[in-house]
Structures are given as C-alpha cells and as structure tokens.
Amino acid sequence: MSSSGVLVIAGPTASGKTDLAIELAQRFDAEIVNADSRQIYRGMPIGTAAPSLQQLAAVPHHLFGFLDPTERYSAARYSADAVAAIAEIHARGKHAIVVGGTGFYVRALTGAVDLAPQYDEAVRERLVREARVHDAEFLHAWLSVRDRARAGTIHPQDSYRVLRALEVALAPQSGSRQGAITSLRSASIPYLKISLAVDESTLRERIGARTGAMLHAGFVEEAERIGEDAVAANAVGYPQAIAYARGWCTRDELRELLIRATRRYAKRQITWFRGEPEIVQALPQDVERLARESLQWVEA
C-alpha cells in the first residue's frame, strides 16, 4: 500500500466539504471516499446533499449510494469498507481523500474508538426488550450516562442510532476487541484529519439556500419514495418531509422545520469535531497547504 497518507475532510453540513474535496482531488490526482452515514444509501441524493452526477463523473468516488435504504450499516463495517477502498486507491498510485460529516465514521476509520466488529446478540435482545417498554428520550438519557460524547451527536428521537450506540456502549469489554476493527491506524496508514471552519452566518445562509434548492428539486417526493419505515428514513429532514406529505404542515412551515433541523444538526457536528482527537480546525483555503506540509502531497 502507498505511504502517501490520507486526507480526511470533515465538518458540519453545508461547510463546502464536497466542492473542496473535488477541487483537491483534481489537483492532487486523488479519489474520494465517503464518510457520510446517509450518503451511503442509494435513491436519496436530494435530502443527503450527495454529490451530483457531474461531480461523481469529475473524480472517482467510493462508498456513495451503494446500499439500499432498508439495510443497516455499522461504523465497524464502514471502517473496514473504507480501508479496503483506500487500499485499492493507493494500489493504483493515487491519493485518497475521505470526506463527510459523520463524526463516528471518521473516528472509527482513524482508529480513535474501539468498536466490536460484530453485534452482541445478548445485548441486542436486551435493548429490543427495553425499547418496547421505554420511549426514545429515556433510551437517549441512558446513552448519555454511558457515553455522553456519542449521545451529544444523536437526536433523542433517532431511536435506531440511539439503540446502536447503546449496543456498542453496553457490549462486554474484552481484550479481543482491541484492534479488532480495521482502521487507518491499525493499517499503519498516515492521515491528516481536518475539520472545516466556517463562520456561523455563512453556514446559516448556505443552509437556507440548500433547503430551498432541495424542495425545488423534489425532496418531498424523494422522502415519500423512501418511506418512513426505511432505516435511512431518520436522516435529517426526512421525517419533516413525510409530515408535510401527510398534510401536517404547510410548505412554508416545512421549509422552516427543515432549516431548523439542519442548523441543529450542524451545531451537533461542530461540537463533535471540536472534541475529535487529532483534528485540525482549518479554513477551506488552508487545507491544500496543510496537505502539502503534513502529507507531502504534490500536484499531479
């Protein structure tokens, strides 16, 4: 495997990660690996702000839109898949840029968290029973006690992610778990982990503009097609779009709900990445220089 290292570009939604990653990939002859837990699903390009067809054609992309929205996918599986994709990229003599705003994916990939490589059935059965008795807010409060940092990145009503995080937090600890998950660290691949710093006013403006564009592009129809029972249907904005489709709010109310939900999500992401191990907070215009200095990348 190449020792060229990996550039990880993280940060809140609407911070410009996708455009920057494509620009740098073209400059450094790199390929892009997804680190967004909803852009892995196919059929959801509008609501997840996935790269456009034009962007996908400009640079090779990996782990985008490959999973059915009804399928479950863990951070452990993501990390193994991402490392495999990076190995293939390096074998072709290319650089790899990982881009996305899912903090737990970034943390798993870089080896900054210990995860079980598979589910613990006993813990899962217990949580299924607990979920029948207790509501989502109770389960989220339980997660806060066991893993406050992780709980801070998950909406209290996102029952799937709360239960999955609890499953990881409650899994029996053992020596066999250490190093079991494939990561850049365990594979001895150097990396530079960056979180894009964007001022609040710019972020608010971009979120507002993106929301309008999403609605114009057919986001409500996309949400109806995915359905409320799909695993991926708890992504930011989809429950609100389904509510609108059922007549529970007006179009203007939907727009405000989407903006509010996205801003809250961005705030949680910012909080997460501020506490992310080894992360470098950087302005978008400084990322190229940092890649040159830290990874010794040169233009193709």
What structural domains does the chain harbor? 6-113+177-198+272-295 (3.40.50.300), 121-175 (1.10.20), 201-268 (1.10.287.890)
pLDDT digits (tens, 9 = 90+) for 17-26: 999 999 999 9
Tokens 């494939």 belong to: 182
Sequence-distant (6+) residues with CB within 8 A of 89 are: 30, 31, 33, 60, 62, 95, 96
pLDDT digits (tens, 9 = 90+) for 82-93: 999 999 999 999
pLDDT attached to residue 180? 47
Residue 176 has pLDDT above 70, yes or no: no
Cβ-contact 183, 108 below 8 angstroms: yes
Higher pLDDT, 42 or 168: 42
* C-alpha distances in Å from residue 198, one per residue of 13, 116, 206, 289: 10, 34, 11, 17
Whether 114 has a pLDDT exceeding 80, the answer reads no
Specify the pLDDT at position 121.
Answer: 66
Closest CA to 14 of 263, 206, 271: 206
Q: Do 254 and 241 touch, CB atoms closer than 8 A?
A: yes
Residue 183 near residue 110 (C-beta atoms within 8 A): yes
Mean pLDDT of 49-72: 96
Q: What is the pTM of this model?
A: 0.81
* DSSP-based three-state secondary structure for 1: coil
Position with higher pLDDT, 277 vs 125: 277
pLDDT of residue 38: 96
Cβ–Cβ under 8 Å, residues 35 and 106? yes
- Is pLDDT larger for residue 117 or for residue 255? 255
